[in-house]
Amino acid sequence: MGEIHVEQFFYESHGHQVEGWIARPKIISGNIPVIVWNRGGRGDYGLLTEDSVRRWMGKQAAWGYIVIGSQYSGNGMSEGKDELGGQEVQDVLNLYPIIQNLPNADLDHIGMYGPSRGGMETYLALPKAPWVKAVVTLGGLANVVRWYKANPLTKLFAKKALESRSAVLWVNRFPKAVPILLLHGKADPDISVQDSIDLAQELEKYSIPHTLVLFEGGDHRLSTHREERDRLTREWFDLYLKNTHN
């Protein structure tokens, strides 16, 4: 892995301060593409720290990208409340003005990456983010109605809110030309592999470019398929964010 610079920052989002992180190559020549990293988990689980940013976001930065991510409201050092697919989606969208002011950021080539809960945040942000040109999700949460039944969180969501967070129910809102790579382990114990299968079927219905890759025996992070997971992710972003014809 090349030399990576990691930096914590704070920005305003719907009236309060939110924590964010950036990973980028230490040496940059000219403008390079950007990846918005939407973290998974909630609270301390999946928390962005300098170590985790170097390990996860830093890996993609070493591929030649500026990688930026929000901690989301109510997590880490962020103010506000984490609504798990509610108001904090704006935290993701509010990264764009920051990207616009980043030195060496190629504003014409911005991607979005979302593992687990970050997949849900990616799907929710996508219809409102015309600046996103390519997407990769890993074990992405696409059917919150089903997930909630298996993981009940007392009084957290009303049925309408569950549906509004479930991308499989409103794929027609997705941009029609943004290619989406869906990676999912068949043995994922946290997010049903059916989420990505069903989402791919909906994407096909609306002629939205996508590729679904399922991994036999793969867990939530595809920890036993790391090389293929990373290779496919890199190839996807390189194809759509580094191809000067896009």
Q: Identify whether the C-beta of residue 156 lies closer than 8 Å to the C-beta of residue 239.
A: no
Neighbours of 190 (CB within 10 A): 16
Residue 15 DSSP one-character state: T
C-alpha 117: how far from chain center: 8
- What is the C-alpha to C-alpha distance for residues 7 and 5, in angstroms, rounded to an integer? 7
What does the pLDDT read at residue 2?
A: 62
Here the CATH number for the domain that contains residue 235 is 3.40.50.1820
Does 9 fall in a domain?
yes
Dihedral, 136, 23, 32, 105 alpha carbons, nearest 10: 100
Which residues of the chain are under the pLDDT cut of 50?
A: 1, 245-246
The number of distinct structural domains making up the chain is: 1
Q: Residue 71 falls within a domain, yes or no?
A: yes
60/1 Cα distance (integer angstroms): 10
User: Do the beta carbons of residue 142 and residue 198 sit within 8 Å?
Assistant: yes
**Residue 246 placed within a domain:** no
Q: How many residues in total does the chain contain? A: 246
- The pLDDT of residue 153 is 65
Instruction: Compute CA distances 18 → 9, 142, 166, 196, whole Å.
Output: 9, 25, 25, 30
Say if 17 falls within a structural domain: yes
Helix (H, G, I), strand (E, B) or coil at 169: helix
CA-CA distance, 67 to 152, in Å (whole number)? 33
Q: Choose among 50, 49, 94: nearest CA to 73.
A: 94
Domain that holds residue 164: 4-241
Exposure of 61 by Cβ count < 10 A (0-12 exposed, 13-18 middle, 19+ buried)? buried
**Given this model, what pLDDT does residue 43 score?**
87
- Interatomic CA distance for residues 82 and 62, integer angstroms: 30
118 φ, ψ to 5°?
-65, -25
Q: Pairing between strand 16-25 and 132-138?
A: unpaired
> Is 124 part of any domain?
yes
How many C-beta atoms surround the C-beta of residue 51 within 10 A? Answer: 10
Q: State the pLDDT at residue 243.
A: 76
